[in-house]
Amino acid sequence: MATAVVPKVYKNYINGEWVEARSGRAFENRNPANTDELVGMFPASTEEDVTAAVDAAKEGFKTWRLVPAPKRAEILFRAAELLVRRKEDMARDMTREMGKVLAETRGDVQEAIDMTYYMAGEGRRQFGQTAPSELANKFCMSIRQPLGICTMITPWNFPMAIPSWKIMPALILGNTVVFKPASDTPFSGYNLVQILIEAGVPRGVVNLITGSGSKVGVPLMGHPDVKLVSFTGSTEIGRTVSEVCAPQFKPCQLEMGGKNAITVLEDANLELAVDGAIWGGFGTTGQRCTAASRVIVHKKVYKEFVERFAARAKALKVGDGLDPSTEMGPCVSESQLKTVMEYTEIGKNEGAKLVAGGHRLEKGAYGRGWFHEPTIFADCDAKMRVAQEEIFGPVVSVIPCNDLDEAIEINNGVVYGLSASIYTRDVNRAFRAMRDLHTGIVYVNAPTIGAETHMPFGGVKQTGNGHREAAVACLDFYSEWKTIYVDYSDKLQRAQIDTASFGRISGD
C-alpha cells in the first residue's frame, strides 16, 4: 500500500482509534523544498488529548505487560517486515515533509528497520542473573520488569529512526507508549505508528498525539501516570524536560545538542578527510546532532585542506531532495533558515574568513523553499561563537592547530560532547585521541556521523544525562531490575549474620 493514498487530513491515534484533537484545530505540514505543497493537516492537540492518551496507555499496560516477551517480539518482527516493504514510499514521504535527500531518508527508514529487527531479537534475550547465595538452601536471581507508560518526544531531523530507538525497546520490554513527534515531521510519525498497528500492536499500547511542545509535550511529561520520558532535541528544551520530571523523581533520557569536530592531522589521507568533512558537515543540511560543524586541521596541511574543502562545498548541488541529482536539501523551516543566516552574519562580524557559501538561495525554484548555500568559515578562533554554539545548519568552522594535544584541547573546549573524529595514519596518535576526546562517540578515519543500531549512542556534558540509546544499553532505561530471593531451607536465615555458621578460613 503506497502512503501517497492516505488522506491529507490526519488524526491522533488513541486507544486503538484515529480521533480528532479535542480542540478541533489542526496545523499545516508543508514541504520545505516547496512551501506551496501542503503535505497534510495534523491535530493541534491539547492537555485533554494528553489525558486521553495516557489513560489509554495505562489501561493497555495492564495486559501488554503480561504478554510473553517472545510474543511481543513477533509483532515487532512483523513491523520490521512491513517497513522493508514500504521503505521507498516512507522515504519519499519523509523527504517531502523535512527536505533531506532521498538517499538519506531511505537510510532513516532503514535505521528504523534495523532497530525494529534488533529489538525483536531482544524478546528472547531479556536475560537476568542468577548467583549463589551466601546462605545454604537459598536461590538468588534478577529479572527485568517494565515501568509502565513511556513518553517519547522526538525531533524532526530523523523522524523515523529516532522514534524507533525509543519506541521499540519500550515495547519489547512490556511498556506502553505515548508518542509526540516533532511538529515539523508528524507524517513520518504517523507512518511509523501505522506500521505498528498493521503489525498487530493491541489497542492502548501505542498512542500518537501531535501538537506543540507547550500544549502537548509539557503536560505529557509532567503527567503523574507517565513513568519515564525519553527526549531528543535541544539542550535548552532538555533542561526543561529535566526540571519537569525532577519533582516526581521521574527518569528522563536526554539526547541534546552537539558541536562535533573532525581533527585532520598532517599525516591524514587528505582526500578522505575532505570527503568526511563534506558528508559530516553538509549531510542532512548540517541538521544533525552529530554533524561535523567544526574541522580542526594541522597547520602543515591547513591551506591545502581548506582549498579542497571549499571547492567541494561550492560544487554541491542544492535542491529538492526528491531529485536524484540533489546532494543537499533545504533547511527544515523558515525559522531554521533564519538561524543559519544569523550565524553567518555572526561569523563575518567575528572576523572568520568566509571561503564558501554564506547566502540564502532565492532565485527560481529556490524561492519557494528554505534553501541556504553550504557555508565554510576558515581561520576561526576556537572561542568564536560559530565555533562554540550549535547552529544546526550547513555551516562549518575550520580551525588551525599545531599538534594533536592542541587539537584535543580545542575539541574538548565546548559545552557539548557527543561525537568526535580524527583522521590520521598513526595508530599511536589515534589511540591517544580515542582515550582523550571527551565525547560519547569517537570515529577514526571517518566523519562524526554514522552510528549503528547495535552500539550505544549518546554523549556527555550538555549533550546527554548519562543514559544511552540503542543496543542493549538502552534496555536499562526502559526496565527496572527486580532481585528475587527464594529460601527453601524451611527456617529463618539472616543474611550477613548467619554466614558465620559455615566456618572461617584461617591462616593458622
Q: Taking the domains of the chain in order of start, what are their residue ranges?
A: 40-256+464-483, 261-444
Q: By the 8 A CB rule, do 39 and 187 touch? A: yes
What phi, psi does 244 have (nearest 5°)? -70, -40
Q: Distance (Å, rounded) from C-alpha 373 to C-alpha 312? A: 12
Q: Give the per-residue pLDDT at 498.
A: 83
Q: Residue 500 — pLDDT band, cuts 50, 70, 90?
A: low
Q: Give the per-residue pLDDT at 7.
A: 52
Angle between helices 186-199 and 69-98 (to 10 degrees): 150
Q: Give the per-residue pLDDT at 3.
A: 46
In three-state secondary structure terms, 487 is strand
How far is residue 97 CA from its own chain's centroid?
18
409: amino acid identity, one letter: E
Q: Give the per-residue pLDDT at 5.
A: 46
**CA-based max dimension of the chain:** 93
Neighbours of 454 (CB within 10 A): 12
Q: Distance (Å, rounded) from C-alpha 206 to C-alpha 253? A: 19
The single residue listed with the C-alpha cell 558528508 is 279
Neighbours of 325 (CB within 10 A): 8
Q: Give the per-residue pLDDT at 210.
A: 98
Q: Give the per-residue pLDDT at 105.
A: 98
Residue range 360-386: mean pLDDT, rounded: 97
Neighbours of 493 (CB within 10 A): 18
- What does the block give as the cell for 308? 579542497
Tens digits of residue pLDDT in 271-318? 999 999 999 999 999 999 999 999 999 999 999 999 999 999 999 999
Q: Give the per-residue pLDDT at 505.
A: 45
Residue range 424-438: mean pLDDT, rounded: 98
- What does the block give as the cell for 366? 529556490
Q: Give the per-residue pLDDT at 286.
A: 98
Mean pLDDT of the chain: 96
Q: Give the per-residue pLDDT at 483.
A: 98
Find the DSSP H helices in 283-301. Answer: none
Is 255 designated active site? yes
- Interacting residues of 275 by C-beta distance below 8 A, sequence separation 6+: none
Q: Residue 245 — pLDDT band, cuts 50, 70, 90?
A: very high
Q: By the 8 A CB rule, do 456 and 255 touch? A: no
> Which CATH superfamily includes the segment(s) 261-444?
Aldehyde Dehydrogenase; Chain A, domain 2 (3.40.309.10)
Pick from 33, 434, 413: which is nearest to 397 by CA? 413
Residue range 378-386: mean pLDDT, rounded: 98
How far is residue 132 CA from its own chain's centroid?
40
**254-293 per-residue burial string, b: 16 or more CB within 10 A, e: under 16:** bbbbbbbbbbbbeebebeebbbbbbbbbbbbbbbbbbbbb
Handedness of CA 59, 65, 68, 69 (dihedral sign): positive
Q: Which of 289, 331, 401, 474 is catalytic?
A: 289
Tens digits of residue pLDDT in 394-422? 999 999 999 999 999 999 999 999 999 99
- Interacting residues of 128 by C-beta distance below 8 A, sequence separation 6+: 141, 142, 143, 144, 481
Q: Give the per-residue pLDDT at 278.
A: 98
The architecture (CATH level 2) of 40-256+464-483 comes to 3-Layer(aba) Sandwich (3.40)
Residue 418 half-sphere exposure toward CB, CA atoms < 13 A = 31
Q: Which of 97, 104, 255, 373 is catalytic?
A: 255
Helix (H) or strand (E) holding 372: strand 371-372
Q: Distance (Å, rounded) from C-alpha 167 to C-alpha 342? A: 36
Q: Phi-psi bin for 207: left (phi > 0), alpha (psi -120 to 50), beta?
A: beta
